[in-house]
Amino acid sequence: MKKYFIAAACLACLTACGGKNNDVPTDAADSTTVEATKVGGIVEDTPWHDENTVAWNGHTYQYTLDRAADKSLPTVKNELGQPYYDNSITLSVKRDGEVFFARKFTKEAFANFLSDDYKTNASLLGLAFDRAADDGLHFGAMVGYAGTEEGGMLFTVVLAADGSVSIIRGEQPDAPGA
């Protein structure tokens, strides 16, 4: 059941749906998308922005997620050979209005879990808030082939109260790069 929840969270992230977590007080969520573009024969995935506020561990946390094609990274190819820019996703978190955490995630953050094929041909597809738990704020992440919202490898990124990050490989629903 957990793998389906994480997959659903990543798919929501990929389709750029913003929403509210009704379990805790929140401000209005903001989600913005722009159509995917093809620059000089290289395709860029749709950029998106998502932000929301969650209460956890006696504090108010506001997170912001921004995905963009990252032209500083090597390009990847989808299953049909179409070149894509890989993505980077910036996660910024404020705790009680003060900067608490900021990091730019790339596929490299998940490299210890990826096959050689995924290291070369897959892209960081999404990162989305999942839940607040005793051990930290949980975000679902997906690495998979560019241009698709199916398959891919699922991960949980846990941001602890001290600002440390751990990455846990999720249960994989028939991922080709697993």
Between 176 and 81, the more confident residue is 81
Residue 150's pLDDT is 72
Q: Give yes or no for residue 4 having a pLDDT over 70.
A: no
Q: What's this model's pTM, rounded to 2 decimal places?
A: 0.77
As a whole number of angstroms, the distance between CA 138 and CA 115 comes to 24
Q: How confident is the model at residue 126 (pLDDT cuts 50, 70, 90)?
A: very high
Residues 6+ apart with CB under 8 A from 139: 91, 127, 128, 129, 130, 156, 157, 158, 159
pLDDT tens-digit profile of 61-94?
999 999 999 999 999 988 888 999 999 999 999 9
Backbone angles phi, psi at 18, to 5 degrees: -95, 155
Q: Is the pLDDT of residue 108 over 80?
A: yes
Which secondary structure element, helix H or strand E, spans residue 64, and what is its range? strand 59-69
The C-alpha atoms of residue 113 and residue 41 are separated, in whole angstroms, by: 30
Pick 30 or 102 by higher pLDDT. 102
pLDDT at 37: 57
- pLDDT (0 to 100) of residue 172: 58
For 27-59, the pLDDT digits (tens) are: 444 444 434 556 568 999 889 999 999 999 999
3-state secondary structure of 70: coil
Judge whether 141 and 123 are in contact, CB under 8 Å. no
CA distance 49 to 71: 18
Ranges of each domain in the chain? 2-33+42-169
CATH topology of domain 2-33+42-169: Lipocalin (2.40.128)
pLDDT at 147: 79
